[in-house]
Chains A and B, each alone.
Chain A
Amino acid sequence: MSDSPAADLPASPALAAHRAGSDVPFFVVMGGLGGSYLLLIVALLAADIAFTSPAHFVAALSKPEIQYAVRLTLISCTISALLSIWVATPLGYLLSRFSFRGRWLIDTILDIPVVLPPLVIGLSLLILFHLPIGGTNLEQFLNEHVRFGERRLTVTFSQPAVVLAQFAVACAFAVQTMRVTFDQIDTRPEQVALTLGCRRSQAFLNIALPQAWRGIVAATTIAWARSLGEFGPILVFAGATRMRTEVLSTTVFLELSVGQLEAAVAVSLLMIVAAMGVLGIVRLVGARVSQ
């Protein structure tokens, strides 16, 4: 008996010459399926552009309330994105590196803002700030105890509510991104750092965090873009008061509700330009840093 298992195979007739055939159908099918979605987005943009004109655009942008909405949008989105990354980085790291009893519950709670309709988040925020607790409520408590000079802090139906409503939803997406980022970073260098004399905090700051910069940029971008598109929770928790809590997403709603379709489309295009601008800048900065 032979030592080689291959020698046990029965003899087979010579195989006929094989030709793999063309790859064109593969690319046609895959490109056709994927391209249909791309086409839909381009068609939407083209329809918006065809509907509006530069005059509508200029008219909309010259309105003081829309200028205010642009300013508040840029400021609130930036603050909520920075707050999101501030929270998402440690949370994503802890969830990625440590397993503990009851973690499934934390995972489920953190997914709630992702799966819940944003409107419900706004409603829940409203209830949270006005739920009577010991003869007061959170809104009243903050109003009485937090001051900036002469001004008292008001959250509901004011600018902090805009940021909080955006943050409540955007942070969940930033946490997911940061968790995946840390999952992809090898833990071995951090372990070696511990044997070299590091505390956990030093291993995180010196080894893990510098490797996570791409994820941090991505999570910040996602949080910013998500904040830009937030509408439901802002409407419920912050309202849509002109020159006070109006952001671009609520502007579209307000202009539509008074029959100003052209202005609504012009503002929509402005949001698209802003989103593309931020994404473009972030990608450019990312590419330069990686070079």
Chain B
Amino acid sequence: MIELDNLSIRSGPFALDHVNLSIPEGAYAVLMGGTGQGKTTILEAICGLRKVTGGRVLLCGEDATRHKPADRGVGYVPQDLGLFPMMSVRGHLEFALRVRRSPPALIRQRVDDLARLLGIEKLLERHVQNLSGGEAQRVALGRALSFRPRILLLDEPLGALDEITRDRLCELLRTIQRQSRLTTLHITHSRSEARLVAERLIVLSAGRLAERPLADLDVLPAAAGEELRSPPVERRTHVSRSTSG
């Protein structure tokens, strides 16, 4: 479960004030909103990489606001993936388990299981700089899942992929999420991607998070750079006026 209770974040001129959010345990939520609204900032605050100036972050019912990122049990896939440039695919999948000093046999078993699940068995010894976009996404996902997190945060993880690869990965994400009962928050600008994975739709607009019915995906404008708060009918009227004059 992810809960944001009156969360405030300030960073230079950028500010988010009194943001509230609640995602029940095991739910797959998609977060949409215009560019520069603060979606990534919210994700970073949840996993502890962004200092909050007020309010609370509750993870699985526990106040984690002051917890270090390492102690939050959150798997994180950033937009640029943040792969470790000097490491092999195996190194990525082993990393979190090695940090936790897990027994070698358990590490081997977990890496094999993850590689099979993600379809990257043949890539294990390959260096990450020699991976395609889709392969790199799978490695980043495998790394985030390797230590069995309770929560998974995905920041536009499929943005740079072609449609077929994206659809396959969406299917994979849903399978993994259902199997592991992971509470997942997934940022995307793509309505079709959201349709494939979302159980819940959350929209960030003008500094406010609001849950919308999934049916709104059909009427929401393309998320990037557009104002999502205005009802679609009014928006169409507005566009019509501006172009007619």
Binding site for B on A (CB under 8 A): 1, 3, 186, 188-189, 191-199, 202, 206-207, 210-211
Contact = CB atoms under 8 A, between A and B. Distances in A.
Contacts, number: 60
A195 B99 contact: no
Contacts of B100: 197
A202 B82 contact: no
A194 B78 contact: no
B150 interface: no
Q: Which 7 A-B pairs have the closest CB atoms?
A: A188-B82, A196-B96, A192-B82, A194-B69, A210-B86, A195-B76, A197-B99
Q: For this complex, into which size category does the number of interface residues on chain B fall?
A: 20 to 34
Contact of B68 (A1, A3, A194, A211): A194
B70 A191 contact: no
B49 A196 contact: no
Contacts of B83: 189
A196 B143 contact: yes
Contacts of B69: 191, 194-195
Given A1-B243, A192-B82, A194-B69, 13 more contacts: A1-B244, A3-B243, A186-B82, A189-B85, A191-B78, A196-B147, A197-B70, A197-B99, A197-B100, A197-B147, A207-B84, A210-B86, A211-B86
30 contacts: A3-B243, A186-B80, A188-B78, A188-B80, A188-B82, A189-B82, A189-B85, A191-B49, A191-B69, A191-B78, A191-B82, A192-B76, A192-B78, A192-B82, A194-B48, A194-B68, A195-B69, A195-B70, A195-B74, A195-B75, A196-B95, A196-B96, A196-B99, A196-B144, A196-B147, A197-B96, A197-B99, A207-B84, A210-B86, A211-B86
Interface in B145-174: 146-147
A1 B84 CA distance: 54
Nearest to B100: A197
B39 interface: no
Contacts of B85: 189, 211
Contacts of A3: 243
B47 interface: yes
A206 B85 CA distance: 11
**Which residue, A189, A192, A198, has most C-beta atoms of chain B within 10 A?**
A192
A181 to B, nearest CB: 14
Contacts of A211: 85-86
B49 A198 contact: no
A194 B96 contact: no
Interface of B is mostly: loop
A66 B243 CA distance: 85
B74 to A, nearest CB: 6
Interface string B71-92: 0101110101011111000000
A99 B95 CA distance: 28
A196 B95 CA distance: 8
A264 B105 CA distance: 66
A193 B147 CA distance: 12
B100 to A, nearest CB: 6
A211 B128 CA distance: 14
Nearest to A188: B82
Contacts of A199: 70
Contacts of A189: 82-85
A198 B85 CA distance: 17
A193 B78 contact: no
Contacts of A1: 243-244
Contacts of B244: 1
A241 to B, nearest CB: 47
Contacts of A198: 70, 99
A3 B72 CA distance: 51
A74 to B, nearest CB: 32
B207 to A, nearest CB: 24
**Which residue, B47, B86, B243, B244, has most C-beta atoms of chain A within 10 A?**
B86
A189 B83 CA distance: 6
